[in-house]
Amino acid sequence: MEALLEDLAAAHRPSSPVGRIPASIPHLSAADPLGFGIAVATVEGEVFGAGDADVPFSIQSISKLFSLALALAGDPGEALWRRVLREPSGTAFNSLVQLEAESGIPRNPFINAGALVVTDFLMERLGDAGEAVLAFLRGLSGSARITVDGDAAAAELAASSRNRALAHFLADFGNLHNPVDAVLTHYVRHCSIAMSCRDLARAGLFLARGGVASPDGPRVLSADNAKRINSIMLTCGMYDAAGEFAYRVGLPGKSGVGGGILAVVPGRCTVCVWSPGLDAKGNSVAGTAALAELTARTGWSVF
């Protein structure tokens, strides 16, 4: 496995900057444009890495996967799903038009409006949603070093005009129960968590193990909810390029505009890849290409 990951790192590390860095989140421009890391964590407990696998990066929307898991871990029944749907959006992840047209019910938990609702839901149940997601990730990864980048969170909150508009739409439709500013603060904090590929691959393993965190560890989610999160990742996890990712890679995946992608091979492993240059849909150019080659060479796929 180490040799395969080294091959992928050598083949897919950009030799010159590729794609783009989102201008709406200024601190992301500090990332090395030639950076590339990849890690695989197996259900048996082994972790392999190559390239910049131990370099922390801003996980951004990958945090939405863990905020959703934390919400479902509280066994909410259908309470959460009455406030957010489970359908692909087909529009930009921060679309205002779709949210208004659909009366304030976001299409899925991975677009920004849906993640704001999940954050609001966690605040009602746990109080400090940002801190709860951070503690959850520390426990899952086994790393107490994971932190929120406070400067990045402050900068991102100051540039949150579109998310603030989404939150006000949600509140106007009665689908946000806490004050808008408080929800935005908690949301931005969990999006500003910094982690490495190795830590993220470990943290996501409960989705490859049917909801169990480690071979001898506790159950994080029911097997049914783990399956459901994987299915939402497959159909909604890559913004409005989920179909293309399923076609090229063949795995459930969740991306973030920090350049990371976490993919799940049920029953076998999780894979995390990072490279900051993004395509037009907001997904890592080099990361997607590396995952496509990985699944082609290993035969790992849900299809």
Residue 112 assigned as binding residue: yes
131 known ligand binder? no
Is 94 annotated as a binding-site member? no
At CA 167, angle to CA 162 and CA 168, rounded to 5? 100
175 is in an annotated binding site: no
Please, are residues 105 and 85 in contact by the beta-carbon 8 Å criterion? yes
Cα distance from N-terminal residue to C-terminal residue, the chain: 22
Known binding residue 156? Answer is yes
98: number of Cβ within 10 Å:
16
- Residue 190 contacts residue 134 (beta carbons within 8 Å): yes
Residue 61 assigned to a binding site: yes
Cα 213 to chain centroid, rounded: 17
Q: Which residues of 145-176 are buried (b: 16+ CB within 10 A; e: fewer)?
A: ebebbeebbebbbebbeebbebbebbbeeebb
Is 301 labelled a binding residue?
A: no
CA torsion sign, 219 to 225 to 231 to 237?
A: negative
The closest alpha carbon to 58, from 33, 95, 31, belongs to: 31
- Binding-site annotation: residue ranges for substrate: 61, 112, 156, 163, 187, 239, 257
- Binding-site annotation: residue ranges: 61, 112, 156, 163, 187, 239, 257
